[in-house]
Amino acid sequence: MEVADLTDEQSNALSRFREFTHIDSVETCRQYLAAHDWDVERAIETALISDSDLPSNINDNDELSTNILPSAPPMPESILEESTTRRFRPNTPPTDHDVQNPILRILRIPLSFLYAFYLKIEPFIPWTIIRFIFSFVHSLVWSGRPIDPIREIDDYCTYFDNQYGPNHPPFYRGKLSQVVFINYFALLDAQREVRLVFIYLHEKNSPLCDRFCREVLCEEVLRTTIGSNLLWSASSDTQEGVQASRSLRAYSFPCFCIVAHHGSQQIVQLKLDRYTDADEFLAEIINGVQHADEALQYNRELRNTRSSRDRLLEEQNAAYLDSVRADKEKAEQRLREENERRKLEEDQQRLQEEKQRKLQKFAEFRDHIKQTFPDEPSSTETDIIQVSIRLPANEPIRRRFRRTDPAKLLFEFAWTNSNVPDQFELLWGYPRKRYQYEQIDNIKIGDVMNGSTETCYLEKIDEENNS
C-alpha cells in the first residue's frame, strides 16, 4: 500500500513500528498504529503481546546466474545464517477488548519500561564488537576439528583410483579456494597456458555417478578430449565439493562443467548435471569444447598482444637506456673538454703571469745595471781592450774594458741597450765560441780576449730552447 498520503510524523512512526516488530505489511502496521492514535509505543506493545502468531514473510531470493564467475576468489560465505522469527500480522485492527484486558495492562508496564530503556541505550550498543565476540566464542565452543582441503582431495583421488582404477584423465590435485569452484592458482595456470578447466562433482553411493565414471570418465575418448587441459574433481561429502556445488548451483550428480577464462572473467561454457546416456553425454562434452575454442582463441590473442606490448616496451626501454647512456657519455665528454680547456687557459695564464714576472724582474735588473755599471776607462789607460758587440738588427755598440774586468761586464754592457733582449749569448774568437751570462762565472776579460780590439756577435736565445 502506498504511504504517500501520510505526514512526515506518521511516516517516521510507521518506520519505527516496522523496524521493531519486523512486520513487512504496510497495511497491517497502519491498522495497529491507527487503532492507537499513532502512538508507537502502545502499538508495539499490542503487537508484541498479541495471541496470534505471525506468518513468516521471507522473500526467496532468485538464484544468481552462473554464467560469469569472479576472476579471483571471493570471501567465504558466513557459516551462521541469522534467522528472524516472524509473527502473524492480523488483517483487522485490535479491538478495545484486547487493550482493556487487565492482564495486558499488567504486562504493559514492564514492556513499556524495557522498550523505552532499549530506545535510549540502542545507539550506544557496540553491535560489531558483540557479533565478533559471539563468533569467536562460537568458533571455540562449537567448531570441530579443522579440515585440511588438500588432504580431502588426496583421499578422494585415492578412493577414486581404488574404486574405478587409474585409467582416467589425471586430476588436478589443488584445493578449492573458499566458495569459488577451483583453486585460484590452477586458474592462473590455465589462463597463462590458454587451457580449459574441466570440473567433475561426484557423489558416493550414487548409481548414476558410478555409471558415469565407468562409462564416460574412464573412457579413452574423454581422455583424448581433455588432452592437456586441467581436470579437477571432488566428492559432494567433502568441504571442497560442497563449496564447488554451491558456487556452480549443482543440486544433482554427476555434475560435469567446462570453465574457460575470457579476459579477466571465468565463464562456465558447459554444465551437465543430468546423466542418461554415455554417447549423448560425450557428444555434449565434445560440443562444449568446440564452443569454448572462442574463449581460448581470445586468450591466445590477448597473450600475443601482451607479449607484443611487453616486447615493444622492452625495446623502448632499451632505446631509452641507450639514449640516456649516449647523453651521459656526451655530457662526460663535454665535461672533459671543458676541464681540458680550463686547464689550458689556466696554464696559459700562469705562463703569461710568469712571463710578466720575468719581464718585470728583468726590467728591474736592467735598471740596476744602468745605475751600478762602472765608468768606461779612458783611451790613455794601458791594458785595455776595445770591444764591439754587433746586434742582430741594429748598429753595433762599442766600449773599452780593462783586461781585469770580469767577462760578465760584456753582457751587462749589452743589457744597457734597450734593443738587447733579456736572453742572449755572445760569440767571439776563432774558432767562435759561445758564452752565456750564467755559464761564464768569474772569468776575466783578458782570459778570453787576447787582442786589443775584439768583435762579439750577439744572438738571441729562444725561451723554449733555453727551457
Is the pLDDT at 316 greater than 80, yes or no?
A: yes
pLDDT at 123: 81
Assess whether the region 130-305 and the region 384-460 belong to the same CATH fold.
no
Q: Which residues contact 392 (CB under 8 A, 6 or more apart)?
A: 458, 459, 460
Tell me the sheet residues that pair with 84: none
260-309 pLDDT, tens digit each: 876 667 788 899 988 989 999 999 999 999 888 777 777 778 777 878 88
Closest CA to 183 of 249, 273, 243, 271: 243
Q: Mean pLDDT highest for which of 181-185, 208-212, 247-251?
A: 208-212
CATH, range 384-460: 3.10.20.90
* Greater model confidence, 408 or 108: 408
pLDDT at 22: 75
CA distance linking residue 288 with residue 284, whole number of Å: 6
CA distance linking residue 236 with residue 249, whole number of Å: 12
* Greater model confidence, 4 or 79: 4
| Average pLDDT of the segment spanning 66-71 | 38
C-alpha cell at 396: 753595433
183-198 pLDDT, tens digit each: 344 344 444 566 788 9
Tell me the sheet residues that pair with 435: 426
Q: What residues does each domain of the chain span?
A: 8-48, 130-305, 384-460
* Strand (E) or helix (H) holding 389: strand 384-390
110-155 pLDDT, tens digit each: 888 888 888 888 888 888 888 888 877 876 766 556 678 888 888 9
* Greater model confidence, 361 or 49: 361
The rounded radius of gyration (Å) of the Cα atoms in the chain is 58
C-alpha cell at 343: 686547464
pTM, 2 dp: 0.41
| Banded pLDDT at 253 (limits 50, 70, 90) | very high
In this predicted structure, which of 230-244, 252-266, 318-332 has the lowest mean pLDDT? 252-266
Closest CA to 420 of 355, 363, 340, 374: 363
At residue 410's C-alpha, the angle toward residues 405 and 412, to 5°, is 105
* Greater model confidence, 54 or 427: 427
Is the pLDDT at 355 greater than 70, yes or no?
A: yes
pLDDT at 52: 40
Q: Which residues contact 398 (CB under 8 A, 6 or more apart)?
A: 386, 387, 388, 389
Q: Which residue has the cell 586441467?
A: 230
Q: List strands edge to edge, sheet with 230-235.
A: 68-69, 265-272, 255-262, 197-202, 230-235
CB 245 within 8 A of CB 201: yes
C-alpha cell at 238: 567433502
CA distance linking residue 266 with residue 188, whole number of Å: 11
Q: Does domain 130-305 have CATH number 3.40.30.10?
A: yes
pLDDT at 37: 86
| Average pLDDT of the segment spanning 344-354 | 92
CB 414 within 8 A of CB 426: yes
How much of the chain exceeds pLDDT 70, in percent? 80
First to last CA, the chain: 119
